[in-house]
Amino acid sequence: MDSADTSDIVGADASCCPSTDTPSGRRRTCRTYDVGMTAGERLRRYLNLINLSTPVGLAVAKAAGCSLQRGPRGLLVAQGYTWPVPKASAFTLGNVVLLRPTAAHLAANSVLMGHEARHSTQYACCLGLPFLPLYGAAALWSLLRTGDLASRNIFERWAGLGEGGYLERPVRRRRTKN
């Protein structure tokens, strides 16, 4: 994606929203993608476009051979992700939610998509791709404290552990010397 014009993303699934030729010869792109989005969701979509996290998500989706469709809240859903990392059945890059084939049904799960939308907001708050090392550090911290990557990961907690399908593990007790 090399354009700041959101109509490029709007046109990601032309079958749903075809561009039409106007009498003046200019192509007009349908904006139904915007319908129902809040001002905050539009702002998030714009920020993740210019901070390059969504273009990176689209590039990964394309390179991985995913099919793209529109999701809720200004998200784009990339179906059919099969690369080995990350192992999660669903993960988010900017406004793009990538789903493994075994998780295709999650596109219709509003709870999970709400969780992923909050990760999308986190990208916007972190100015885009800096989210990834910050998330990695938070996951490592959680692993050391609890033995899993999410329970004390501040990003997963903000996105909602339960909504993301995580069980909260207790913090490990430190050994005391006697």
Binding site for Zn ion (CB under 5 A): 156, 159, 164
Q: How far, in Å, CA of 177 to CA of 143, rounded?
A: 23
The nearest distance, CB 69 to Zn ion, in angstroms, is 20
The pair of structure tokens assigned to 33 is 């993608």
Closest residue by beta carbon to Zn ion? 164
User: In whole angstroms, how close is the CB of 33 to Zn ion at the nearest point?
Assistant: 24
Residue 161 Cβ, how far from Zn ion at the closest point, in Å? 8
Measured from the CB atom, the residue of 6 and 122 that comes closer to Zn ion is 122
Task: Retrieve residue 163's tokens.
Answer: 């909504």
d(C-alpha 161, C-alpha 11), whole Å:
33
Nearer to Zn ion, 10 or 163 (CB): 163
Residue 50 or residue 137: which is nearer to Zn ion going by CB?
137
Closer CB to Zn ion, residue 11 or residue 160?
160
The C-alpha atoms of residue 152 and residue 135 are separated, in whole angstroms, by 11
Instruction: Using the minimum distance from each CB to Zn ion, give the nearer residue, 138 or 159.
Output: 159
Residue 127, exposed/middle/buried by CB under 10 A (0-12, 13-18, 19+)? middle
Q: Could you count the other beta carbons within 10 Å of the beta carbon of residue 95?
A: 30
> Nearest distance from residue 154's CB to Zn ion, in Å?
11
Smallest distance, Zn ion to C-beta of residue 115, A = 5
Instruction: Enumerate residues 6+ apart whose C-beta is below 8 A from 168.
Output: 151, 161
Q: Give bridge partners of residue 79 from the DSSP assignment.
A: 67, 99
